[in-house]
């Protein structure tokens, strides 16, 4: 289903039976609210946000890439890509045999300055760039080597598979400012608070408190990217104190909101 009913912002998924080369680039300028149908493909995808915030949703969780971060999507993994703000996206499609080092989990990676410049140059190559002992092929190999070493960052939100617990999590994602307590959740699920704590930890790998904090901080990325004040972003995701929001943001991501979006 299209987010907020914006059928006209659906993005076309490239009609590729196979990649013309081991590495293929796609350059896009996306409007706020752009989205794709859930889909999968036979190759790995690395989607990189030059500006704007990309979101990738899978059955296992959601992954977010603010500027200078990218999302690694394994081959054959069903996913949906959305953007809450205008975004400049650079996607690399990688033949699975060209990256045997890649794991099979969706991850958010930091794009280093060298990788950024290599992607910029590669995006200017034709889809059928010359292979063999050529400068293009050598750059491709250096770019693949760099992709293998990009550091992972914590811009992801695991989701439970338990159906009723997932429904409650989705309610909070839709309204992150809600102050729903674990006790209230346990009453809705007809179980004890202690049992729900164990279930939440088992299903997501996080405590309820840690999961809700991560969800709130991730939900603030779109507002910050489009230029909302830090105070406004903090209030919209459930923080009463701007200083507490900034401290939690830096503790989670290693940057203050201003540092993350200053470029």
The answer to whether 3-153 and 160-261 have equal CATH topology is no
pLDDT given at position 2: 43
% pLDDT > 70, the chain = 96
pLDDT of residue 261 exceeding 80: no
Q: Please choose, from the candidates 70, 241, 156, the residue with its C-alpha nearest in 3D space to the C-alpha of residue 233.
A: 241
Tens of pLDDT, residue by residue over 42-67, are: 999 999 888 888 999 999 899 999 88
Tens of pLDDT, residue by residue over 107-140, are: 999 999 999 999 999 999 999 999 999 999 999 9
DSSP 143-200: HHHHHHHPPEE--EEE---SHHHHHHHHHHHH-TT----HHHHHHHHTS-HHHHHHHH
Q: Which fold has domain 160-261?
A: Arc Repressor Mutant, subunit A (1.10.10)
pLDDT of residue 6 exceeding 50: no
Q: Which helix (H) or strand (E) holds 47?
A: strand 44-51
Say if residues 9 and 34 touch (Cβ distance below 8 Å).
yes
Q: Given 3.20.20.80, 3.30.70.260, 2.70.70.10, 2.60.120.280, which CATH number is that of 3-153?
A: 2.60.120.280
Token pair for 242: 């701007």
Annotated domain spans of the chain: 3-153, 160-261
Say if residues 95 and 67 touch (Cβ distance below 8 Å).
no
Q: Helix %, strand %, coil % for the chain, to 5?
A: 40, 20, 40
């Amino acid at each position: 289903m299209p987010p907020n009913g914006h059928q006209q912002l659906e993005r076309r998924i490239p009609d590729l039976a196979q990649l013309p080369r081991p590495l293929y680039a796609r350059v896009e300028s996306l409007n706020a609210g752009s989205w794709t149908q859930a889909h999968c493909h036979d190759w790995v995808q690395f989607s990189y946000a030059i500006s704007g915030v990309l979101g990738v949703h899978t059955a296992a969780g959601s992954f977010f890439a603010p500027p200078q971060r990218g999302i690694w999507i394994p081959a054959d993994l069903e996913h949906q890509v959305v953007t809450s703000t205008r975004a400049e996206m650079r996607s690399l499609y990688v033949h699975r045999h060209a990256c045997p080092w890649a794991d099979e989990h969706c991850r958010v990676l930091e794009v280093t300055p060298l990788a950024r410049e290599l992607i910029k140059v590669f995006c200017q190559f034709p889809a059928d760039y010359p292979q063999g002992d050529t400068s293009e092929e050598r750059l491709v190999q250096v770019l693949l080597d760099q992709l293998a070493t990009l550091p992972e960052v914590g811009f992801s939100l695991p989701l439970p598979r338990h159906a009723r617990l997932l429904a409650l999590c989705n309610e909070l994602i839709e309204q992150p400012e809600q102050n729903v307590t674990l006790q209230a959740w346990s009453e809705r699920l007809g179980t004890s608070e202690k049992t729900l704590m164990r279930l939440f930890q088992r299903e997501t790998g996080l405590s309820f408190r840690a999961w809700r904090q991560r969800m709130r901080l991730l939900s603030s990325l779109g507002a910050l990217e489009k230029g909302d004040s830090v105070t406004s972003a903090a209030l919209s995701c459930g923080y009463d104190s701007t200083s507490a929001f900034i401290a939690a943001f830096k503790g989670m991501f290693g940057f203050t909101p201003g540092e993350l979006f200053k470029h």
